[in-house]
Each structure stands twice: as C-alpha cells, then as structure tokens.
Amino acid sequence: MFSWRVRPPQDGIVIAPEERLPWPQTILLGLQHVVAMFGSTVLAPLLMGFDPNLVVLMSGIGTLIFFLVTGGRVPSYLGSSFAFIAVVLAATGHAGGGPNPQLGLALGGIIACGALYALIGLLVMAGGAGWIERLMPPVVTGAVVAMIGLNLAAVPVKTMAPTQFDAWMQALTVLCVALVAVHARGLARRLLVLAGLLLASLLYALLTNGFGLGRPIDLAPVAAAPWFGLPGLARPVFALEPVLLIAPVAIVLVAENLGHLKAVSAMTGRNLDPWIGRAFLGDGLATMAAGAVGGTGVTTYAENIGVMAATRVYSTAIFVVAAIAAILLGFSPKFGAVIRAIPLPVMGGVSIVVFGLIAVAGARIWVENRVDFTDPRNLMIGAVTLILGTGDFTLHFGSFAMGGIGTATFGAILLQALLGGAKGRTEGRSGAAGPAATPPARR
C-alpha cells in the first residue's frame, strides 16, 4: 500500500496510481492539491459556523482513512461537502457567519449520515455494485460530474470578483494558469495550478501594493497568527429531527462519489469498479470521524480531480502527502492565515480553471464510453441534469431544501429509471468505464 514504482520526471508522461515521481516532485504536487482543495474546504465550514482549522485537519485524517480502506488504489482527496450546507443550516437554525451555537445537533446528523453512507458501502462490497451501475450508467455519471463543475461555476464568477478590477484580475489569473499549462515544461507544467496562482499573486501585489489599483495584500494577520495552536473540538448531540434531516445527504454523496470514481477511471484507464464499495465505506467512516470531533461531512473532491486531469499525475502518493500537509496545517493558524492572504480574485481565477476541468471530466466520461446522444433517452437525461444543476434548481420538502446538485443527481437517476433504462454505450461496447476505454492520456 505504501510502495510506489518510481517514474522519472519527463514531459508528457502519465503517472499511474501505483506509481510516483521522485519525492521532491511528489511533495510539491501534494502541496498543489492542498491549495486546490483549501478554498472550498474552508468556505464550507465558514458558511456553517464550524472551525476551519479543525475541518482542514479532519480532511487530512479523512483522506488517510480513505487511503487505508481503499488499499491505496483510488487517488482521491476528501474535503468538506457542500451538500451538507443547506441541511445543517436548516437543522441548527444558523444564519451563517460566526460560530454555530447549535453545532452539536449538526454533528449528530453528520455522524448518522456517515453511518448510512458506510452501510451502503458494506452492501456494495457484499453484493456488488451492479444495482448502482444500473441506476447510474455512464450517461448519468457523466452528467452528474459535468453538472457539479457547472454548478460550482457561479461561486468564482458571482462572489469572487466584487469590483471590475477583481474581474480583470480573475481573467489575468486564468491566463497565467493557461500559459503555464501550455508553454511550461517539466515540473512547472505539473504544478500548473500552484505556479499559475503564485504568478498571478505576484502580479496582483504589483498592481495593488505597488500601483494602488485595487485592495492591497495585507500580511498583518499572517504576522500576528501563531505558528502552532490546537483547533477547537466539539461534542455531537443526537436528536431525531436533525438526524432525519441530515442523514439522507448520504444518497447525494453516493452519486457524487460514484461520478468522481467514473471520472478518475476514465482518466486513468483503470477499472475502479471493484473499489466502489470500499470508496463508499472509506468516505462514510471519514465523515463519522469528522462529525465526532466537530468537523463537517466529507466527500471525494472534484477540485483535486480537476488538478489530476490537468497534470496527468494520478499517484496515490500525492494524496498521502496532501493529507499530512493538511493535518499539519490544521495545527498551524499561521499557515491558515497565509492561505487566507491569497487575493480573492486570484483564488477565483484558479477556481474557474479547476471547475471547468471538472465539467470537461464529465464530458470525457461520455466520450470514453461512447454515449449515444442520438438516443432520445440519453439526450433527455444529459440535458435536464445539466440545466437543473447549473441553474441550482431547488426543491423544498418542509424544512428540508434540496439544492441544485441534489435535484440534478436524483433527477438523472429518476429519468434513467422512468425512461426505461437509457443506453450508456453504443452497440458492442461493454465493460467498465476504465478498462473498456483507451487510456485517454496515452493516445
């Protein structure tokens, strides 16, 4: 599990899950994944009233749990799930901003959700994933993955550029990342997100701190923050109503995780179907562990899948590095302050690239599995799912609100069942998404 075949760093080479680059490059790639997950992983607890440092720490611990349960076969990072935000706010009556005074009630529901999720994983391990495959063939999983990227698009576009200068800075950040991706060579190309972010941050500092064109970077909080500090723990409280409200999020996590696994399978050319049950179990156990001490529910992270798609490095070693870095970061308020010092429009520009890569990964599932869109069933499933998710179509069931990701996911599954089983592949195509497809990165 902790042994990877070493590959020399060469341009264009694909690094498989069981391989790794030399440790210096692997460590840098792991830190890049920390940067990729940090914005969303910290944003979710801030919206729900959780301690961000504790949430980052538990994301690292959760990733290690996932790594161990899956035997180091599935390259994924576990971060805060946005699927919990609406139900946690509804269960606790929290309006957002500042600590959540009813945090314990949310934690009880999160633990129950993790337990249900883990149970689904055990059922898949015992009986196979065939029933899930029938509910969610490639046309569904591809639509769900693409929809997640499109649903997240509004976050950087609408909330991370409050001024015209910030909007232009976002565009310059996208350009920086794109230039690194296209024209850089060697390690710089592998680190395109981190390199683009650093380049854009330097450009931002020149324009603001140097020429006074926008809000300057303030490093005073970084200087004031201590190097080491313990995050605040919280105790769960179990009550029936919050549990019934939060536990069903497990179904959304199942669909989300399955979509991510299919995306990684398509990118790596590996059949990850035998590890679906273990992935569900690992994610469920990680969610229970996080809820037990005051963390948010976790899920496999699309942001990190986007980074893998861009770098073509799928080594599970980088996620062990990222997990350890996140744990250390959780105990260091100063490093958290450094990350928070990254200008908002720069982080927004990076998010535009990463979320776009997620959407393309969903389309890639369709291409690799030859989903036939001349079939009206496939066409309806793909079209409706994308619009429901992108438009953030929300349904309310009493005090429970199902946001765009949930409605689009369940809508895709429901359409798949009602329309008589849309064909996910063309005639003569069979097998799992991974091995059936020619490895995309080796073409």
Q: What's the mean pLDDT when you consider all of the chain?
A: 82
Determine, yes or no, domain membership for 433: no
Per-residue pLDDT, 191: 64
434 closest CA partner among 227, 276, 224, 252:
276
Radius of gyration of the chain, Cα coordinates, nearest whole angstrom: 21
Q: 441 in a domain, yes or no?
A: no
Element at 19 (helix H, strand E): strand 19-20
Over residues 118-138, mean pLDDT: 86
User: Does 440 map to a domain?
Assistant: no
Q: Please report whether residue 439 resides in a domain.
A: no
Which pLDDT value is given to residue 443? Answer: 29
Q: pLDDT at position 110, please?
A: 95
pLDDT of residue 259: 77
The alpha-helical segments, DSSP class H, found in 237-375 are: 240-246, 249-268, 276-293, 302-311, 317-330, 333-340, 344-368
Other Cβ atoms within 10 Å of 409 Cβ, number: 30
pLDDT digits (tens, 9 = 90+) for 325-375: 999 988 988 876 776 777 888 878 887 887 787 788 788 878 878 899 999
Residue 1 domain flag: no
Nearest to residue 40, comparing CAs of 376, 386, 255, 354?
354
Backbone angle region of 218, left / alpha / beta, with phi > 0 → left and psi within -120 to 50 → alpha: beta
Residue 146 placed within a domain: yes
Number of independent structural domains in the chain: 1
CB-CB contact of 14 with 308 (8 Å)? no
pTM passes above 0.75: no
* Most confident stretch, 116-130, 132-146, 327-341, 394-408: 116-130
Expressed as residue numbers, the domain containing 34 is 16-218+232-425
Which residues share a beta bridge with 401?
396
Does residue 352 lie in a domain region? yes
Is the residue at 11 inside a domain? no
Nearest in space to 30 (alpha carbons), one of 349, 307, 309: 307
Residues 174-196: pLDDT tens digits? Answer: 998 888 888 877 656 656 777 88
Q: What is the pLDDT of residues 223-260, one digit of tens each?
A: 888 888 888 789 999 988 888 778 877 877 887 788 78
